[in-house]
Chains A and B, each alone.
Chain A
Amino acid sequence: MLEAFENGADGVMVIGCLEGDCHYLSGNIRARARVARVAAILESIRIGGERIRMFNLSAGEGAKFAAYVNEFVGQVRELGPSPVNVVRKNAA
Chain B
Amino acid sequence: MITGTPKPIEEILEMIDPYERIVVAGCYGCVTVCRVGGEKEVQVLASTLRLARETAGKKITIKEVCLERQCDPEYIEQMRPYIHDYQAVLSIACGAGIQFLAEKYTATPSLPGINTGFLGVTERQGEWAERCQGCGDCVLHLTGGICPVTRCAKSLFHGPCGGSVQGHCEVGKDTPCGWQLIIDRLKSLDQMDNYVKLKPYKGWNTSRDGGPRRIVREDMI
Contact = CB atoms under 8 A, between A and B. Distances in A.
Nearest to B125: A30
A44 B8 CA distance: 9
B50 A6 contact: yes
A39 interface: no
A78 interface: no
Interface string B1-38: 00000001110000000000000000000000000000
A5 B51 contact: yes
Contacts of A2: 44, 47-48, 51
Interface in A49-92: 83-84, 87-88
B55 interface: yes
Interface residues of A, number: 13
| B contact residues, range | 10 to 19
B52 interface: yes
Contacts of B54: 84, 87-88
B159 to A, nearest CB: 37
A6 B47 CA distance: 7
Interface string B105-141: 0000000000000000000000000000000000000
B47 A84 contact: no
Question: Which has the most chain A C-beta neighbours within 10 Å: B47, B50, B55, B57?
Answer: B55
Contacts of A46: 52, 55
A18 interface: no
A34 B120 CA distance: 23
B57 A45 contact: no
B201 to A, nearest CB: 46
A41 B44 CA distance: 9
